[in-house]
Structures are given as structure tokens and as C-alpha cells.
Structure 1
Amino acid sequence: MHTIDNHVPGRSPSAVIWIGVTVLALLSWGLVYNQLVPFSDWVVASLAVDRSSHLGEAIGFFVYDTPKVLMLLTLVVFAMGFVRSFFSPEKTRALLAGKREGVGNVLAAGLGIVTPFCSCSAVPMFIGFVSAGVPLGVTFSFLISAPMVNEVALGLLFGLVGWKVALTYLVFGLSVAIVSGWVIGRLHLETWLQEWVRNIRSSTVDLPPENVAIVDRIKAGIDAIHEIVGKVWPWIIAGIAAGAFIHGYVPADLLASIMGRDAWWSVPAVVLIGIPMYSNAAGIIPVVTALLAKGAALGTVLAFMMSVIALSLPEMIILRKVLTTRLIAVFIGVVGMGILAVGFLFNFLFP
């Protein structure tokens, strides 16, 4: 990681230029990000492909999500690099982990509620937290909560089955995120991070924050982009490509036939089916609605929904650049057990 150089605080023309260019870049980022939806529609239309067809859905998904996730990753990594110049990894850990056991997990899971990210969109935040030295279990609480428990998912449940189910889902969704992150944190698996991530976490800022010039903080953010985005972007594109294919071609009738059966194995079956898939809460709404209309059990459908948006193959492909295979397996196992518990519980409470 780039080391911050010593600069005497003060005004300089170069600092004004750096700040101006940075502000302009951020404004341009916002303008481009707001045009991603019409851009993806334009691409599909220019290819003379029916937007509602399997191919049209897959292309639209890929064209929209690829720049979206890459732009989010770039912005978040820059911000984390900038903020990291103010805090050492030790101070960051203390700030987010809290003084009491589990406080950091609760804060991270709560942050996930107000960030309406799908699983792949939450990965940039996860990478930024991990590279900044935030405790591993805390980052996992955010990674689980952000896609699984947000206003879209809660609004869906409220509209379909009422506020009691939505509130129960909120409580147990947060519980899965908090407990899973806490368990992973207690296992102390930091050595199972990829080596390049461990090197970033162990690096430190040489100077006290008050002696660092604003230009150097901006440069620290840019260096973080080169260091992290430069390593991860191929995995992001590969993951979104897999998600686009699944999004466009996986049949819903097959899923409904499995979820509609009154058997104990239906919950673990749909979790296994949901893990290789990829969608955000909004994208899974039509599927969930159709499954419930065809008589699928509520707990089984919710377990499927949680596995799709919290444990997805594209997400694992992207995380593979940051986490070792062993740590990904632990993540899937811990979260999967929590989702199974929620599915069985909902089927028991709401038969």
C-alpha cells in the first residue's frame, strides 16, 4: 500500500486542483451511475432483442450490473482509502468492534438494513472494511445483512403476508447476520484471508493524521483503487456473467414444484438450489410472488429468498479473490444453518 509522505499543512495551488478534480470526478460518477438503467435498456434495444426474453433478461442484467458493481467498488474503496488515512487499523477495529462483545456485529448488521445492496453490490463495502482492518466477523455481519434485510425485502413481505411476518423476518434476518458474524469472528480466521488482503491490513500510516495533507489523503484513496480494484475486477465480471445467465434462464416452475411439497427436506433443498443463483431483493419479488401463489410453504420460500440474496454463486466467485476457499466454506456453512433455522421456524409458525 502507498505510504503517505510528510507534507507541511498549508494552502497550495496543487491542493486546490486536486480537490477540484476529485469533486468533479465524484459528480461525474453520480451522473453516470444514474444513467445505467437507460443505458442497459438502450443496449438491449440496439441488439434487437426482446427485453422480456431469456436472452434479453440476461443481457440487460449483465450490462446493468457490471458497471454498477464496478463503480460501487471504486467509490467505496476510494472512500475507505481516504478514511483510512485518518485511522490506523487498530483504531478502526476499536471503533467498529465496540467495547462489548457483539456490539460491532449489531452495528454492522444495522448498517446493512439502510444500504439497499444486493449481495454482489455489498461486496465492495465488505472488501473496503476488510482491507481497512475492520474485524472479520463484523464485516461478515454487514455482508449478510445488507442484501438480506433491507427495505425492499421488508416491503415485499408486508405487502404479501402482512406486518407480523415482515417483523418476524426482520428479527430473524438480523439474528442470522449478527450471530453468523459473531461466530465467524470467534473462530479467529483472519489467517484464512488471501495474502494480499492480510498485507493491506497489516500496513500502517506512517504519520499522525493531523500531519497529513488533503492531497495525500486523496492519493491514498487512489492508491487503494489501484491496489484492490485492480486485483478484483476480473472476478467481478465473471461472477456477474454467471448471475446474468442464471437470472435469464432458470425456470420458476421447477422451483415451485419442489417448494410446494410438504416434506421436511424441502427447506434444505431450496437452500441448495438458491445458493448458485443470484438476484437482489427486488429481482426476486416476481419469483417469490409466483411461488406463494402456487401454494409453496412460506418458510420454504423465505429460505429460498434468503439463500439467493445472501449466499449466491457470483458473490462467492468475487469473494474468492479476497477469501480462501476454507473461509468461504465456513461462511456458507454458518449462514446456511441460520437460513435453515429461519425456514423451519416460519413453516412451524405460519403453516
Structure 2
Amino acid sequence: MTYRDAGVDIDAGDALVDRIKPLAARTMRPGVMAGIGGFGALFEVPRHLREPVLVSGTDGVGTKLRLAFEWQRHDTVGIDLVAMSVNDILVQGAEPLYFLDYFACGKLSVDTAARVVGGIARGCELAGCALIGGETAEMPGMYPDGEYDLAGFAVGAVEKSAIIDGAGIRAGDTVLGLASSGAHSNGYSLVRKILRHAGARPDQDLDGRPLGDVVMEPTRIYVKSVLAALAAHGAAIKGLAHITGGGLLENVPRILKPGLCARLHRDAWQWPALFQWLQAQGGVADQEMARVFNCGIGMVLVVDPAQADAIAATLRAQGETVHALGAIEARAEGGAQTIVD
């Protein structure tokens, strides 16, 4: 008997590594000492930081992958994978340094895996971090043919004195929102249920685009634009919240001290067509929408009101769509920490 008889093709794994190496090479940056191919990846801590603090994050893509399988959309879920981790560590002011991925499947398709890793490499390029290593696991009997799972791990660094933790947030501070590119990688169990309920097809039209393109639009990576704003405005940016699972209602409170709440004005931004369609087709209440989805806002910044316009201008110059969402207020006893009215 051979390993191939048991369902594991070592030659396919070697072929995938050969396909991955040039993709990873495009993401290299200063600090990489040893990357793809070794037992461990080496990265030198940035020397320009006096007191460097490492910040790490890990995440997956969730049930958005089921649509990738059904619709054969494997090219962009890797961007989602990178985005979920690098956007998370960004909120503490960290610059992403390197990324590792874990790709697991029952039977390895080199072409499919290469498409996925191509997306991961593209996400790393957008975030300015190196794809420094990873793992491909072929496990017969663990996953149906054509299916796989993904996990990602990002490590970044921030000057200890520049860590953003929300401690300086006060009532009266301004809340800015950066537009999302779509549902990002959250709420897809509900998205899929609504798609089934509506009998929707990926080729049908939604606001001038195929529905499949809108639903699978990869998560926006905010790293370069937010780092530019931090470099220009420093401590005037008091808090950042990545709007992921839990939507607007549950992510903004993660950076607020007790006694504070964020009041967001519903008319401050227009929900993108995708969220309007999901709400209409699923009969989803406003509160549930805001608790599950980003509703068009992928990153929230709490800033000094005296510098809010300047910060917004910097972010717009970096290509972001910025909305003035509302303000921080004193929280009534027993009241919600995020109010959308």
C-alpha cells in the first residue's frame, strides 16, 4: 500500500508548494528572514520601534465558504481570510507584519488551492504584510470532495506608547465610519438562508451587478489608509472598531468604557443595495440587521471632534468613503451601548 492509496497525494502537495512560492514572493517585505519551505518562518522585529509590542489575530472565513463551493468562487475568499485578521489587529494601532494560512481539505485540488492561496497573497499585498508560511493538510474522509476550510493568523507590531485601547474616549467625541465593500465575511448563515428563501441565483441582477459578485465581494482591507491617518493625526484617533460578527451594535461597545454609548444616526449613511435586498427578502428587522451585519460600515473610528474633518479628509485621500455617523454620549443606566436612531 501507498499513501496515495489511502487518499493522500504527496506529489500534489509538492506541486501546490511550487505554485505558491512565486505568489508568496510578491508579498515579501523588510524583516522576513526565512519564509515558505522551512519548518518555521523567521521575522525580525522592526528596529524603528523603541518598545515594540506584538499584536496577533486569527480568524476564518465562516460559511461564506459554502457559497464559494456552490458557485465555484475560490479566487477572493483568501482576501477575506487575510482581511478578518489584519483589520482586527489594526484597531490597536498595529501594522501587520506577516501572515500564515492553514488550508485543510479531503482531497487536494492543486488548481483550487492555488486560486485560494492567490487570494491570500493578494490580501497580504493589500495589507502590506508578508505571506511567510502556512500549512496544507490533505485529510481523506474529513471533508467532502470539493470542500475545504481556511484559517489565518496575522502578527503585527505597534509602539507601546501608541497602542489604541479606547481609554481616552469621552462624551462628545465624533464617530466616523468607513464604508464596507459588502457583507465582508460575517452573517453568511443568514445570507444563505435568505438566498434559499428567495430562490436567488448568482447570475440575477442586483443594482446593476450579478448577485453572486455582490455577495462574494471580498472584505475591504483598511490597513494602509488607517495607518496613514494614524501617522498624520496620532492621538486624535482615540478608538477603532472592526465591524465583524455582532455587527454595528456589538462591536462598537468593545472600545467604550462603562458609562458611555455611541449614538449613530441612521440617516448619516445609506445602506448599500445588498443589505436593502437582504432585509426585504428576509423580512429582517432593523435591530437584527444591525446586530448581524455591518450594514455598509466596515470600520468605526472615534476621534477628537476638533480634528474630525481633517481625519476624514486624510482617509478620503487614501480612497476611503467616510461617513460622520454620530457621537459618543453618556450612557443612561441600563441603556444600550450602541444606539442607531
More strand by share: 2
TM-score tier by shorter-chain length is under 0.3
**Could you tell me the TM-score, scaled by structure 2's length?**
0.26
More helix by share: 1
